[in-house]
Amino acid sequence: MADRTIFHVDVNSAFLSWSASYRVNILGEQTDLRLLPSIVGGDQEKRHGIVLAKSTPAKRYGIQTGEAIVTARQKCPDLVVVPPDYGLYVNASRAFISKLKKYSDHVIQYSIDEAWVIFDGFESLYGKGQMVKLAYDLKDEIKEELGFTVNIGISNNFLLSKMAGDFSKPDKVHTLFPEEIKEKMWPLPVSELFFVGRATTKKLYALGIKTIGELANADEAMLRAHLKSMGEVIQGYARGEDLQSYMFTHDANKGYGNSLTAPQDIVTREYAGHLLLSLCETVGARLRTDSVKIGVVAVHITTNEFARASRQMQLLTATDVTEEIYVAACQVFDKLWDGRTPIRQIGVSTSKVQSDSGRQYNLFDMQRYDKLEQLNKTVDAIRGRFGEDSLMRASFLKGNVSHMSGGLDKERRSGVTIGIDVEHENARII
C-alpha cells in the first residue's frame, strides 16, 4: 500500500537493558549496568556459558554476543556478569508491546524484544515528516515511562523497516524507503543483511560478494548454483523485496499458533523449552477464549542459515490445556531438532480445531485433566481482571525449564507465582 508506513521497534540490548532498568528503577541500585562493561550471561562455571547480551562499554572491548563468558572475561577482567531473568524479560516485553498498541491497533510481535507497528493511511494524511516525528515521540515515551531505549526503523515494508532499525544504535530513529536503498543499504557489508549468517557470509565472500549492493546486482544463476533457493531469497532482500508472510503471520482459519525469533540463537534444549512454554501459554489462552480445542500440535523452526523444518503430532484427544499442548510441543521438538544446529525462529501451531464440546477421557487422565482445565480457566480469569503480570509461572522466575524446584525469589515480584508439576517424558512444568 502506497500510504502504509511501518515502524520496526527494537529494544536496545534488551536483556541487559531490562535487567539494568529493573535494578535501578525498582531495586534502587545506584549503578546502571548500561554504563559499565557488563553482560547478561549463563552459568559462568559451565563451559557452555555464553554472552546473551552486552552493554555498549562491553562492546568496545570486542565482546560479542554468543561468545563464551570465559573469553569475554579475558578481554575485560573487570567485566560485570549478571544472570538472565526470563520472568522479568517476559513482563518487560508485555509492557513494551502494550505501549506499541496504544499507537496502532495493528502490531505484529516478531520476538520478545521487537515488533512491527503498521499505520495504514497515516502517511497520506500527515506526510512522511510527521511519521518520523511520531516515531521520535514513541521512542521518547518508551524511554521515559518504561525506562529503556529502542531503535525505530521506518519504511513502507517489513524488511526495510527492520534493516533501518539496525542502523546506528542506541536510541535512534532511521528511515529506509525504497528510494534510499542504494544510498543507505547497498554500501553495508553483506553480513548485515537480514538472515545472512556467518556460513552464508563466507559463501558470498568466496563468490566475491562483500556488500549488499554487490549481492543485489549479482548474477542470479550463479547464486542459485551455489546457494540454491536461499540465494534467490537473500538477493530479493538485498533489492528491498519484502519478507515472506509466513515469518510473522498465521492462517487463523487453519488453527492457532504463535512464533518468535529468539534474541540469540537457540542452542540448548533448556532455552528452547522455555520459549516453547511461552508460546504454548499464548496459544492455550487463545483457544480457551474462543471456546475451541485442537487435536494436532506442530512445531516449526528456522535455523540461522534459513533452513526450515516442521513436524506435528496428533493428540489422543482434543485439548485446550496449556500443559498438554506444551508436553506435545516438547515431544515434537525433540524429534525435529538435531540438538546442534542453531535455531533463529521457533513456533508452535495447532490444527484440527473443534468446538469445545467435551473431552474423550481415558482411564488415567480424568482427574488430572479436570484439575488442569480448572486451573487454566482460573489463571485466565485472574489475568483478564488484574493484568498479565498478576500470575506467572515459577519457571519464568528462574529462567530454566529443567531445574525448577525451590529457591524462588518471590519477594521480587508483586504478582503471584504458580507451580504445576506435570511430568511426561522430557517435559516438565513447574
Question: Does residue 429 sit within a domain?
Answer: no
Tell whether the model's pLDDT for residue 197 goes beyond 70. yes
CB atoms within 10 A of CB 90: 21
- Grid cell of 263 as nine digits: 534474541
Q: Could you tell me where the DSSP H helices lie in 55-192?
A: 56-59, 69-75, 86-101, 122-126, 128-146, 158-165
pTM for the complete prediction? 0.66
Instruction: Give the span between the Cα atoms of 293 and 133, in whole angstroms.
Output: 45
3-state class (DSSP) for residue 125: helix
| Same domain (yes/no): 412, 309 | yes
Question: Which 8-state DSSP code applies to residue 138?
Answer: H
Mean pLDDT of 265-274: 88
Most confident of 53-62, 124-133, 243-252: 53-62
Domain with 116, as residue range(s), is 1-174
Question: Does residue 426 sit within a domain?
Answer: no
The residue that leads in pLDDT, 371 or 333, is: 333
What pLDDT does 50 receive?
Answer: 79
| Same domain (yes/no): 169, 190 | no
At 251, is the pLDDT very low, low, confident or very high (cuts 50, 70, 90)?
Answer: very low
| Same domain (yes/no): 15, 134 | yes
What pLDDT does 292 receive?
Answer: 86
Tell whether the model's pLDDT for residue 381 goes beyond 90. no
| Same domain (yes/no): 46, 133 | yes
- Grid cell of 220 as nine digits: 542470479
| Same domain (yes/no): 143, 228 | no
DSSP string, 328-373: HHHHHHHHH--SSS-EEEEEEEEEEEEE-------TTTHHHHHHHH
Structural domain count of the chain: 3
Percentage of the chain modeled with pLDDT above 70: 75
CATH code of residue 203: 1.10.150.20
Torsional class of 51: left (φ above 0), alpha (ψ -120 to 50), beta (otherwise): beta
Lowest mean pLDDT among 88-92, 254-258, 346-350: 254-258
Which residue in the list 29, 67, 114, 214 is annotated as catalytic? 114
What pLDDT does 38 receive?
Answer: 95
Boundary of a domain, candidates 245, 273, 296: 245
Q: Provide CB contacts within 8 A for 390, sequence distance 6+.
A: 382, 383, 415, 416
In whole numbers, what is the pLDDT of the chain averaged over residues? 80
Question: Does residue 425 sit within a domain?
Answer: no
Boundary of a domain, candidates 129, 152, 174: 174
* Helices and strands per DSSP (H, E), number in the chain: 15, 14
| Same domain (yes/no): 10, 157 | yes
Question: Does residue 424 sit within a domain?
Answer: no
Instruction: Give the span between the Cα atoms of 55 and 15, in whole angstroms.
Output: 10
Instruction: Give the span between the Cα atoms of 301 and 275, in whole angstroms.
Output: 12
For the stretch 401-416, pLDDT in tens is 333 222 223 333 334 4
| Same domain (yes/no): 168, 80 | yes
Most confident of 204-218, 256-270, 294-308: 204-218
At 247, is the pLDDT very low, low, confident or very high (cuts 50, 70, 90)?
Answer: low
CATH code of residue 159: 3.30.70.270
Residue 71 CA, chain-centre distance (Å), reads 26
Task: For residue 114, indicate whether it is catalytic.
Answer: yes
Lowest mean pLDDT among 308-312, 333-337, 340-344, 354-358: 354-358
Mean pLDDT of 47-74: 85
**Quick one: which of 52, 8, 11, 7 has its CA closest to 148?**
11
Strand order in the sheet with 114-120: 107-111, 114-120, 4-11, 150-155, 173-175
Amino acid occupying residue 379: V
The residue that leads in pLDDT, 197 or 162, is: 162
| Same domain (yes/no): 261, 410 | yes
Question: Does residue 180 sit within a domain?
Answer: no
At 380, is the pLDDT very low, low, confident or very high (cuts 50, 70, 90)?
Answer: low
